[in-house]
Structures are given as structure tokens and as C-alpha cells.
Amino acid sequence: MKRILFFIVTNIAILLVLSIFLSLTGFTGILQSNGIDLDYDSLMLFSLVFGMGGSFISLYLSKWMAKKMAGVQVISKPSNDFEKWYLQVVERQSNKLNIKIPEIGIFQSAGPNAFATGSSKNNSLIAISSGLISNMSRNEVEAVIGHEMSHVANGDMVTLALIQGIVNAFVIFFSRVIGHFVDRVILKNERGYGIGYFFTVIFAQVVLGILASTIVMWYSRQREYRADYGGAMLTSKEDMIASLRALEKCTAAKLPDQMLAFGISNKGQKSFAQKYFSSHPPLAERIERLQQTDFTSNVDQHSAS
């Protein structure tokens, strides 16, 4: 309950900040001075501020929110053998990827999972669940860490926020254009906006949001394949496949809804329709993709360089 309340309060705060920003820019509304026609420039500003602004504020708050919502215990000074090993793995992989060492942490959950978040590749957090530690060998855990480190090195959090922001802006813009058309042309409202406009905007925003989410989810699935590949390059193909097979056998640790796309253990959807709305490909497909990938030439090129 506290986490839900925390999420609601945080989002209200974001909306207030964006509203204040609009008022400081002299924003007066999306209608022209005659109170009838749409002011497309103002609507575009409104859409960009709430679409892109909300997405990037959430990105910059992501580490802080992850710690609060997932209950991550950050490891600043290792207190046992595993934590020392964990830190050494992250340091070694950071050096290979030429990125700043992320914060690391553990969150309590019986199921195995891990995630990476943060505002940039040099300001990130890697967290693994207690269930991951107890259900996997160290080689498999290292491969999972490599998967998450690859997300960081690839800049996936920033790119996903950018795509989500652009999609949000388009949805906000076109839902209000549709609402304006219905209010003025179909309902013949001559001034201001009636209740038909608001119902139309809500309906259009839901429908367009669902359709637009397929774009975001498509990108999210592609980045999982890339992170699996990165995890295999940082450890080995066999260890990365073994870690995914271990995840297949377990019930994943539940993450807050806002972080589902960042967890490694999201088994994906198997039905044709559900696949389009899943942030992760099915684990079986990820395993098959790795099995079919030839890493030999890449390893040789890396050694030569």
C-alpha cells in the first residue's frame, strides 16, 4: 500500500512541475483567442511538455524510485563473500564496457529477477533478487549481471524513455485533435468544450495509447535480445543460456508494474496477439536466438583489436 501511495504522490508531483513549467512559458490553453479553433502550436507545446517531460522526469527519478518501490538494499561496503564477489564482477564488467561502475544492490524476493535502471550509462543501478542468488550458480548469476550491464552500456533506459516520450506526445496531440473534431463537427458545439470532447479525448487516448504501446514493446523486446548477446559476450554463451533456462523453471520475482520492462525474468507472452504487448520475448525464443548466434568471429575480432 505504501508503494502504491508513493507512486501516486510522485506522479502528482511530476504533473504539478510540468503544469508550473507551462504557466511560466505563458501557456494559456490549446484554443485560439476566439475560443473556437485549435491553436496547433500551443497543443504541440502541451503534448511535448507532458509527453516528453513526464517520461524524462521519470527517467531521472528512476534510481530513487527503484530503491523505494522494489526495496533495494544498496551495497556500499560488501559485508560477506557473495557481496564482495558481486562487486568484483560489476567492476570487471564495467571496465570491459568502459562505463562508470554502477551502484549495486539486492532486493528481497523468493523468485529470481534482476534489473538495471538509471538516467544514463554512467549514473545507473544494478539490482538482483535474493531468489536469484539462491536459485542460480555463480556463473549463471554473473551472466544475468552481464545482461543488465549490457542494458546500461547500450543506453537502453534513455532510449526507451525517448521512444516512450515521443509516443506519449503523439497520443496526447492526436487524441485532442480527434476530440476537437467530434466536439465541433459532430456535436456542433460552437464555443469552449463540452462533455463530449472530454469523453472523446479519454477514449481516443486509451485506444491510441494501446496501439502506440506496440511500438515501445517492440523496441523493448529487441533490446532484450541485444542484452542477452551482451551477457554472453561478457561471460559465455553457455552461461547466458543456462541462466535463461534457470529462469524458465522458476516463478519470477514480482517487480512493480513501472519496472516490469527492466526485469530480466519476464517470461513473455506466447499467444500471437499478446506478443505485441509484451516487453520481453518468450524465454524459449531468447534461448533459441542465442543458440543460433555464432560468437566465434566476434570473439576473434575483439581479441585482434
Active site residues: 148
Residues in Cβ contact with 19 at an 8 Å cutoff, skipping those fewer than 6 apart: none
- What is the CA angle 87-258-205, rounded to 5? 150
| Closest of 269, 148, 263 to residue 214, by C-alpha | 269
Residue 134, CB-side half-sphere exposure with 13 Å CA sphere? 12
- What is the CA angle 159-160-165, rounded to 5? 100
Contact 105, 126 (CB under 8 A): yes
Residues paired with 128 in a beta bridge: 106, 114
| Closest of 264, 168, 149 to residue 208, by C-alpha | 168
Residues in Cβ contact with 51 at an 8 Å cutoff, skipping those fewer than 6 apart: 165, 166, 167, 168, 169, 170, 171, 172, 173
- 103-107/123-129 β-pairing: parallel
- Count the Cβ atoms, other than its own, within 10 Å of residue 247: 26
